[in-house]
A and B are shown apart, each in its own frame.
Chain A
């Protein structure tokens, strides 16, 4: 599904990623761990196509197509979803209105008809209940005045609505208490199937107790320094990041 080949990325001329290689197949869950500043969020931003991040070298292939030149919205249309570490506020636009615009933009880009209102409503109800989201929440302005937990839940709600092929969860566990974490993880697990893939970016092993990865990669100084199975996460938890530095 996703192949990252020798990816070098810099911000304002400063090299952040120095040759990332990663292969994610449909049906897999990958975890990317690493200390602060190791380049985890840069990797997610580069895959999503944030133009503030300059790809100096390397390729990103998605479903066999090189997407390096594609605009962020074009990548989204192809099925890439990023759950933001710090979701952005848009005052005056309700969660419902935003997700409606998002879904219809994606459908339109794929040459399909807009989703009829009743179908949209049904889907919103279904996904909201999966993530234990109150209907009042859906009428609030997007992320405005949301608690950290609400913001993250809203990200996963959008993911549930959009049903992407590849979801990148950037530090989704930060700001979540244990109950919220379970709800979010449960949501992600229910959405998981053999045709989609998830990349979980996290600093701590905690989330990986609930979203169990097939592979764990450790990122340090912009390179993947170690890869392994889920047990690697436990090892890191015990020994700390100094172990791999």
Chain B
């Protein structure tokens, strides 16, 4: 049965009521601080096998010896890692009794996104409606996939049910000691998604974490593992497209993609965590490590729309190991008020005839700073590697900053690497032109920004693109005035 995302959303809403209100207020939050015992306790909570506990502990021991990186072009108060609680059951963040208690500004945003009241309650974490774990939807959905042999479940479940796959691939693209945050994530990851597409199978639907509602509250240390076996194809959507007001200050997710020979993975993200208020107070630190490995003739495409978080540090990358493999990175990063984003990609060309494309669109408004940081590395054996990079920045007002840090390392003289960059400003003349045609200034900015971001928006699945456009509009509201 082929479900469209829309149908599923509808079904989710109706099911929610059919099954009544199961309020699972979980008091089970670990006390603050991190130690080997806490890591063990997390692993135990999740009923993990021994090898996984040991895997986490190794990560923890590495992490303890590491220092938080500070090379990114962002300034923030370093989190105190002993002041964080490392395990909090997914549903314990509910604290509102009714919508009246929720920040009216947040509700306004929901309205603009066209989110139904029940959905609003869920996203804002209103206690009564938090039950969305509709068993029947999950089952229908799973049946469709399992007929094709596709596995799509939580990473915790995968560790128990498919240990061989997990053991083989977890940490294979992003080793535990890769960086400070990946080590931390490996030690304490709470949950996340696992996906396996068997040989030659084309996944019939966009896989979205949106469906995996029981995952919704587990964002803090999320772990995602996607494996596309030989000749398979999958399009994976990450993130819910409504601005979740998450109380977690620190987010350190790890996403690993494995594209075996002739496989293709399309990974799309819309990130809109709480960016902090207009004065730069609060907001999420989003330190994510995302990387994919491409075997022969395979392809990985990262598409991201980043509008949220106070600080973003994120470089979805591709290791082009196999000959003729392709890596793509399409990104829109918007920063407003006091937001800071340092984002980009790494394209590591190892195989022959490998190709990579980077299109990055940075939009800065308010007093924000937006940096593109990218590495294109062509290694000695990568004959005929090709890269094309384009980094465009759009500035609004005179108080924001756009920065570009492209690193290019070429160790093979058959390589062809192109880099283009542009910086433009939304002009008063553009806005006046729109105004004269009856289009108000907010809408004019949205129009100009959408035009600027079009090449990337076009890469998103249709429904995602529409919501992403709305998000761009919302995140830039009040940026000119």
Q: Mark B114-151, 1 if CB is under 8 A from A, else 0.
A: 00000000000000000000000000000000000000
Q: Which of B172-180, B373-381, B444-452 contacts A (4 or more CB under 8 A)?
A: B444-452
- The 8 Å CB contact of A102, one of B437, B448, B453, B455, is B437
Do the beta carbons of A98 and B448 come within 8 Å of each other?
no
Do the beta carbons of A105 and B451 come within 8 Å of each other?
no
Do the beta carbons of B438 and A91 come within 8 Å of each other?
no
Do the beta carbons of B438 and A84 come within 8 Å of each other?
no
Which of A87, A90, A102, A158 counts the most chain B CB atoms within 10 A? A90
Given the known inter-chain contacts A93-B447, A101-B447, please indicate yes or no for A88 contacting B430, CB distance below 8 A: yes
User: How far, in whole Å, are A72 and B447 apart by their CA atoms in the complex?
Assistant: 17
- The 8 Å CB contact of A50, one of B430, B432, B441, B454, is B432
Q: Mark A47-88, 1 if CB is under 8 A from B, else 0.
A: 011111000000000000000000111001100011010011
Residue of chain A at shortest CB distance from B361: A92
Closest CB in chain A relative to B293 CB, distance in Å: 33
B18 at the interface (CB under 8 A from A): no
| Tally of chain B residues near chain A (CB < 8 A) | 23
Residue of chain B at shortest CB distance from A83: B436
- The 8 Å CB contact of A72, one of B430, B436, B448, B454, is B436
Do the beta carbons of B447 and A106 come within 8 Å of each other?
no
Q: Mark A140-157, 1 if CB is under 8 A from B, else 0.
A: 011000000000000000
How many A-B pairs fall under 8 Å by CB? 76
Do the beta carbons of A76 and B447 come within 8 Å of each other?
no
Do the beta carbons of A162 and B451 come within 8 Å of each other?
no
Do the beta carbons of A82 and B436 come within 8 Å of each other?
yes
User: How far, in whole Å, are A52 and B439 apart by their CA atoms in the complex?
Assistant: 18
- The 8 Å CB contact of B437, one of A51, A89, A158, is A158
Which of A51, A72, A102, A162 counts the most chain B CB atoms within 10 A? A72
| Tally of chain A residues near chain B (CB < 8 A) | 30
User: How far, in whole Å, are A83 and B448 apart by their CA atoms in the complex?
Assistant: 20
B7 at the interface (CB under 8 A from A): no
B435 at the interface (CB under 8 A from A): yes
Closest CB in chain A relative to B398 CB, distance in Å: 17
Q: Mark B439-480, 1 if CB is under 8 A from A, else 0.
A: 111010001101111110000000000000000000000000
Given the known inter-chain contacts A52-B428, A90-B447, please indicate yes or no for A72 contacting B452, CB distance below 8 A: no
A109 at the interface (CB under 8 A from B): yes
Given the known inter-chain contacts A50-B432, A87-B433, please indicate yes or no for A109 contacting B452, CB distance below 8 A: no
Report A90-143 residues with CB < 8 Å from chain B CB. Answer: 90-93, 98, 101-102, 105-106, 109, 141-142
Which A residues lie within 8 Å of B435 (CB)?
49, 71-73, 76
Which B residues lie within 8 Å of A73 (CB)?
435-436, 438-441
Which A residues lie within 8 Å of B427 (CB)?
88
- The 8 Å CB contact of B450, one of A71, A84, A87, A93, is A93
Q: Mark B414-435, 1 if CB is under 8 A from A, else 0.
A: 0000000000000111101111
Closest CB in chain B relative to A68 CB, distance in Å: 16
Which A residues lie within 8 Å of B436 (CB)?
48-49, 72-73, 76, 81-82, 84
Residue of chain B at shortest CB distance from A91: B451
Which A residues lie within 8 Å of B433 (CB)?
84, 87-88, 90
Which of B428, B434, B448, B452 counts the most chain A CB atoms within 10 A? B434
Do the beta carbons of B438 and A109 come within 8 Å of each other?
yes
Which of B427, B428, B439, B453 counts the most chain A CB atoms within 10 A? B439
Do the beta carbons of A92 and B437 come within 8 Å of each other?
no
Which B residues lie within 8 Å of A158 (CB)?
437
Which A residues lie within 8 Å of B455 (CB)?
92
- The 8 Å CB contact of A106, one of B430, B438, B448, is B438
Do the beta carbons of B451 and A93 come within 8 Å of each other?
yes
Do the beta carbons of B451 and A92 come within 8 Å of each other?
yes
Residue of chain A at shortest CB distance from B457: A92
User: How far, in whole Å, are A77 and B439 apart by their CA atoms in the complex?
Assistant: 9
Closest CB in chain A relative to B134 CB, distance in Å: 35
Residue of chain B at shortest CB distance from A106: B438
- The 8 Å CB contact of B443, one of A71, A84, A87, A101, is A101
- The 8 Å CB contact of B447, one of A48, A98, A162, is A98
User: How far, in whole Å, are A102 and B19 apart by their CA atoms in the complex?
Assistant: 46
Do the beta carbons of A90 and B432 come within 8 Å of each other?
no
Residue of chain B at shortest CB distance from A87: B433
Do the beta carbons of B430 and A102 come within 8 Å of each other?
no
Do the beta carbons of B437 and A93 come within 8 Å of each other?
no
User: How far, in whole Å, are A84 and B438 apart by their CA atoms in the complex?
Assistant: 14
Residue of chain A at shortest CB distance from B424: A91
Which B residues lie within 8 Å of A102 (CB)?
434, 437-439
Do the beta carbons of B443 and A105 come within 8 Å of each other?
yes
Given the known inter-chain contacts A72-B435, A73-B438, please indicate yes or no for A90 contacting B430, CB distance below 8 A: yes
Which B residues lie within 8 Å of A49 (CB)?
435-436
User: How far, in whole Å, are A82 and B436 apart by their CA atoms in the complex?
Assistant: 7
Which B residues lie within 8 Å of A98 (CB)?
437, 447
Given the known inter-chain contacts A93-B450, A105-B437, A141-B451, please indicate yes or no for A72 contacting B443, CB distance below 8 A: no
> Hey, which bits of chain B sit against chain A, CB under 8 A?
427-430, 432-441, 443, 447-448, 450-455
- Sampled A-B contacts (20; CB under 8 Å): A49-B436, A50-B432, A72-B432, A72-B435, A73-B435, A73-B438, A73-B439, A76-B435, A77-B438, A82-B436, A90-B430, A90-B434, A93-B447, A93-B448, A93-B451, A101-B439, A102-B437, A106-B437, A109-B438, A162-B437
Extra A-B contacts (4), CB below 8 Å, given A49-B436, A98-B447, A101-B443: A73-B441, A84-B436, A92-B454, A141-B451
